[in-house]
Amino acid sequence: MSTRKKNVVYGTEHLLSGLCDSVSKVLTLATHSEIRYSGMVQKIGKTCLKPDLGCFVLFDGGFSGLVIINFTAPAAMELYARYMLNMGMDKASLASTFTADEVGNTMGELMNQIVGDFTGKIERELETHVTQSQPKMLALNRQVVLSVDANLDKPEARRVTFYTGGHNLFYLELAIDRTEFIPLRDFDPPGAHDPEALFAQASAAPTANPSHPTKPAHPASEHDDLLKSLGM
């Protein structure tokens, strides 16, 4: 466990690195396949939801920001299938298209675990408090790009490319208020929670009967409300 030193400043790149680690760790555990990210980061002018499947989460508290993950259809289907098969679902019961509610709900669940792991890590390491919104998922056609207004004063935006075990791509985008964390004293961050426990609990839960599909977590009316809030 490392000690936070008084002469070290933690800013955007530190937060981005922690977020990338959370994405890689959570998805690797969920899919039992290596999820890795590029060693290069892009500075971008703004964040956007893009095809094929876009997911975003807002967070606030010690600092404010927006996390977006844009999945290509092959990446979303690979991650969905690997996760559900690891959870005990038989292959014949899997959804066949990325626009299916089951795929969106599953990716939203994984997004929630990713951001939860990230915010927990930040709270421990930087001794601050962060809250997050519920993840929102949208299946987008190739003619649509949506901007999300996160009400940030002086945003800094970054994009990182991720690679799945099946060599498919998806993209993480982060926008946060320009901020720096400067330690006032040396301190040891508390130990991290083990994310494998979450997946173990989920695996132990009874699986749904394929002949009685579960109700989508985000009904059509909520999907319509989201589009209205984005000006669609």
Pair of tokens at residue 67: 């996390």
What residues make up the domain containing 50? 12-183+215-229
Q: Is 176 within the bounds of a domain?
A: yes
Q: Is 204 within the bounds of a domain?
A: no
Q: What are the pLDDT digits (tens) for 91-143? A: 999 999 999 999 999 999 999 999 999 999 999 888 888 999 999 999 987 76
3 state SS of 157: strand
CA separation for the pair 96, 104 (Å, rounded): 12
Q: Is 132 within the bounds of a domain?
A: yes
Residues whose CB falls within 8 Å of the CB of residue 44, separated by 6 or more in sequence, listed in order: 157, 158, 159, 173
pLDDT given at position 73: 96
Q: What are the pLDDT digits (tens) for 51-100? A: 999 999 998 988 889 999 999 999 999 999 999 999 999 999 999 999 99
CA separation for the pair 183, 209 (Å, rounded): 52
Which of residues 205 and 82 earns the better pLDDT score?
82
Q: Where are any strands of DSSP class E within the chain? A: 36-37, 42-44, 48-49, 53-61, 65-71, 130-132, 136-139, 146-147, 155-163, 169-177
Q: What are the pLDDT digits (tens) for 137-178? A: 999 877 667 777 777 887 899 999 999 999 999 999 999 988
Q: Is 44 within the bounds of a domain?
A: yes
CA separation for the pair 232, 212 (Å, rounded): 33
Q: Is 53 within the bounds of a domain?
A: yes
Which one-letter DSSP state was computed for residue 4? B
- What are the angstrom distances between the C-alpha of 47 and each of 8, 20, 44, 109? 28, 16, 7, 21
Residues whose CB falls within 8 Å of the CB of residue 190, separated by 6 or more in sequence, listed in order: 124
Q: Is 201 within the bounds of a domain?
A: no
- Among 35-44, 137-146, 219-228, top mean pLDDT goes to 35-44
CATH of the domain at 104: 3.40.1550.10
Say how many domains are in the chain: 1
Q: Is 207 within the bounds of a domain?
A: no
Ramachandran region, residue 71 (left: φ > 0; alpha: ψ -120 to 50; beta: rest)? beta
Which of residues 18 and 227 earns the better pLDDT score?
18
What are the start-end ranges of the H helices in 32-126?
Answer: 73-86, 101-126
> Regarding beta strands 42-44 and 146-147, do their DSSP bridges make them parallel or antiparallel, or are they unpaired?
unpaired
Give the pLDDT band of residue 1 (cuts 50, 70, 90). Answer: very low
Q: Is 41 within the bounds of a domain?
A: yes
The angle subtended at Cα 207 by Cα 205 and Cα 208, nearest 5°, is 135
pLDDT given at position 149: 72
